[in-house]
């Protein structure tokens, strides 16, 4: 292990003895700087040092072909400065090698998790396959920046997608990085989606049935060729359940004594309980039961849950002029009826099984009639104090205006 003051000429002419595979030249001018010369002719600069625990370590600085001796000494000085501040450059390099790419993280950790946690994991797969993996698959997680997220968000909109579609990508990336932070994935110290706002969505369709429309719809489903539709549609309106939750319901899920319907698997992947009203109990008492069939609303022909009911539903809604009403709007309508009856957002949230009140607020509109009734409460109390005597002529003019 020769010790000498390295010079550019020595570095250029240094060779490895024939009997050795490599030889190290220790620079006496720069503490810890080592030039490794290999039998193959390759030359590399290293820094040899002791870490905070007294362990001797060697940090690769650069290939002698890529930097000059002066530059190698500068790199060594910078590395020693980090060591003096309590850092270990070798640990930093080891950590960098442990940082997975986006594609590796998705394949090895994210997908195995969501497939057991989220019922809608196939939606995640679609977003990943079509949008996120083509963009980020080969990027290491610690190299994905906030600017990358903003560009992804706006590129989706520029491609002609609706704001809601662009927002879904942002929401997916936010969830992915939140999991990476929670699992302490090497290299992930911040969520790059933090502070990136969702785009304003003005295309959300809000449709609520009026009482009259609900009656008309009920009359239509009662005459449907699908004999179960007259039970399915009212049940959706009376409970606010999702279509799939109802179609997959079993008789054992209904606790009539406690008036609770247990939905074992919801959209969030967790069970929830729906309180059953008098109307629900009365409806359930009329639903036909089939011997040996555990399903509450099965296809009478197969005695198994319906795969879909769109044809019968579409026929019924078109029959009474409600072609714009979707099945999911029955859930909206249930929330609307609750709010218009004076129930609180908290109550609506619990019944619908929302984890965040923000989700419930989209259902919490009040009908115009309800608002007028609320405004009239003040009028009934003091309105008469501000009504001047109305002349016969003025009364006549008001009648003409009306």
Which of 60-64, 154-158, 272-276, 356-360 is least confident?
356-360
Contact (Cβ atoms closer than 8 angstroms) between residue 32 and residue 49: yes
pLDDT band at 395; cut points 50, 70, 90: very low
pLDDT band at 260; cut points 50, 70, 90: very high
d(CA 43, CA 36): 5
Asked if residue 280 and residue 311 are part of one domain, the reply reads yes
Measured in whole angstroms, the distance separating CA 18 from the mean position of its chain's CA atoms is 62
HEC assignment per residue over the chain: CCEECCCHHHHHHCCCCCCCCEEEEEECCCCCEEEEEECCCCEEEEEEEECCCCCEEEEEEEECCCCCHHHHHHHHHHHHHHHHCCCCHHHHHHHHHHCCEHHHHHHHHHHHHHHHHCCCHHHHHHHHHHHHHHHHCCCEHHHCCHHHHHHHHHHHHHCCCCHHHHHHHHHHHHHHHHHHHHCCCCCCCCCCCCCCCCCCCCCCCCCCCCHHHHHHHHHHHHCCCCCCHHHHHHHHHHHCCCHHHHHCCEHHHEECCCCEEEECCCCCCCCEEEECCHHHHHHHHHCCCCCCCCECCECCCCCCECCCCHHHHHHHHHHCCCCCCCCCHHHHHHHHHHHHCCCCHHHHHHHHCCCCHHHHHCCCCCCHHHHHHHHHHHHHHHHHHHCCCCCHHHHHHHHHHC
Give residue 366's pLDDT: 53
d(CA 362, CA 56): 62
Asked if residue 173 and residue 273 are part of one domain, the reply reads no
Mean pLDDT of 136-155: 94
Task: CATH number of the domain at 216, please.
Answer: 1.10.443.10
β-strand partners of 255: 260
The yes-or-no verdict on residue 89 having pLDDT over 90 is no
d(CA 210, CA 369): 11
- Read off the tokens for 361: 């607020």
Asked if residue 154 and residue 16 are part of one domain, the reply reads no
Asked if residue 89 and residue 155 are part of one domain, the reply reads no
The whole-chain average pLDDT of the chain stands at: 85
For CA atoms 319, 322, 323, 327, the dihedral sign is: negative
In this structure, is residue 188 part of a structural domain?
no
Mean pLDDT of 219-227: 95
Asked if residue 111 and residue 63 are part of one domain, the reply reads no
What pLDDT digit, counting tens, does each position of 29-88 carry?
999 999 999 988 899 999 998 877 778 888 888 999 999 999 999 999 998 888 888 887
Asked if residue 113 and residue 91 are part of one domain, the reply reads no
Asked if residue 61 and residue 133 are part of one domain, the reply reads no
Asked if residue 116 and residue 86 are part of one domain, the reply reads no
- Read off the tokens for 180: 């990476």
In this structure, is residue 384 part of a structural domain?
no
Q: How far is CA 172 from CA 6, 58, 121, 187, in A?
A: 54, 41, 11, 20
- Read off the tokens for 216: 């008309």
What domain count does the chain have? Answer: 3
Which of 153-167, 315-329, 369-383 is least confident?
369-383
- Could you tell me which residues come within 8 angstroms of residue 6 by beta carbon, excluding any fewer than 6 positions away? 25, 27, 29, 30, 33, 35, 69
What pLDDT digit, counting tens, does each position of 188-211 carry?
999 999 999 988 776 556 788 899
Q: pLDDT above 70 covers what percent of the chain?
A: 86
Asked if residue 231 and residue 156 are part of one domain, the reply reads no
The model's pTM:
0.51
Give residue 364's pLDDT: 56
- Read off the tokens for 82: 């980090």
Per the structure, the complete domain to which residue 333 belongs is given by: 211-361
- Read off the tokens for 88: 């270990």
What pLDDT digit, counting tens, does each position of 327-383 carry?
999 988 888 888 777 777 778 777 877 777 766 776 555 555 666 777 777 767 766
Contact (Cβ atoms closer than 8 angstroms) between residue 28 and residue 5: yes
Q: Which residue has the tokens 């009639």?
A: 369
Beta-strand relationship, 260-263 and 272-275? antiparallel
Contact (Cβ atoms closer than 8 angstroms) between residue 33 and residue 72: yes
Task: CATH number of the domain at 54, please.
Answer: 3.30.160.390
* 353: nearest Cα among 256, 274, 246, 248: 274
Beta-strand relationship, 3-4 and 33-38? unpaired
Asked if residue 280 and residue 341 are part of one domain, the reply reads yes
Give residue 119's pLDDT: 66
């Amino acid at each position: 292990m020769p010790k000498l003051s390295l010079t550019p000429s020595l570095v250029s002419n240094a060779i490895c003895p024939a009997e050795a595979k490599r030889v190290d030249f220790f620079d006496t001018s720069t503490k810890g700087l080592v030039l490794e010369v290999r039998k193959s002719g390759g030359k590399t600069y290293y820094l040899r040092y002791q870490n905070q625990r007294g362990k001797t370590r060697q940090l690769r600085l650069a290939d002698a072909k890529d930097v000059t001796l002066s530059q190698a000494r500068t790199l060594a000085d910078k590395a020693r400065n980090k060591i003096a501040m309590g850092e270990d450059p070798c640990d930093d390099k080891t950590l960098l090698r442990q940082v997975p790419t986006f594609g590796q993280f998705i394949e090895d950790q994210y997908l195995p998790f969501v497939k057991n946690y989220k019922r809608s994991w196939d939606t995640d797969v679609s977003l990943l396959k079509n949008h996120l993996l083509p963009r980020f698959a080969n990027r290491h997680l610690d190299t994905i920046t906030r600017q990358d997220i903003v560009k992804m968000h706006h590129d989706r909109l520029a491609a002609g997608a609706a704001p809601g579609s662009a927002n879904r990508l942002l929401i997916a990336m936010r969830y992915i990085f939140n999991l990476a932070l929670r699992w302490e994935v090497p290299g992930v110290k911040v969520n790059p989606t933090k502070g990136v706002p969702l785009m304003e969505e003005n295309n959300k369709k809000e449709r609520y049935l009026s009482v009259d429309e609900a009656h008309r719809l009920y009359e239509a489903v009662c005459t449907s060729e699908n004999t179960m539709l007259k039970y399915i549609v009212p049940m959706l309106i009376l409970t606010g359940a999702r279509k799939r939750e109802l179609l997959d319901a079993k008789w054992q899920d209904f606790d009539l004594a406690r008036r609770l319907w247990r939905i074992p698997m919801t959209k969030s992947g967790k069970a929830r309980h729906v309180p059953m009203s008098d109307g629900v109990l009365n409806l359930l008492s009329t639903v036909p039961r089939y011997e040996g069939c555990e399903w509450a609303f099965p296809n009478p022909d197969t005695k198994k849950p319906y795969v879909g009911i769109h044809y019968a539903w579409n026929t019924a809604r078109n029959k009474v002029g409600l072609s714009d009403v979707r099945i999911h709007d029955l859930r909206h309508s249930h929330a609307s009826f609750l709010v218009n009856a004076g129930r609180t957002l908290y109550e609506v949230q619990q019944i619908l099984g929302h984890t965040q009140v923000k989700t419930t607020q989209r259902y919490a509109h009040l009908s115009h009639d309800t608002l007028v009734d609320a405004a009239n409460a003040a009028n009934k109390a003091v309105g008469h104090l501000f009504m001047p005597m109305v002349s016969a002529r003025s009364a006549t003019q008001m009648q003409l205006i009306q």
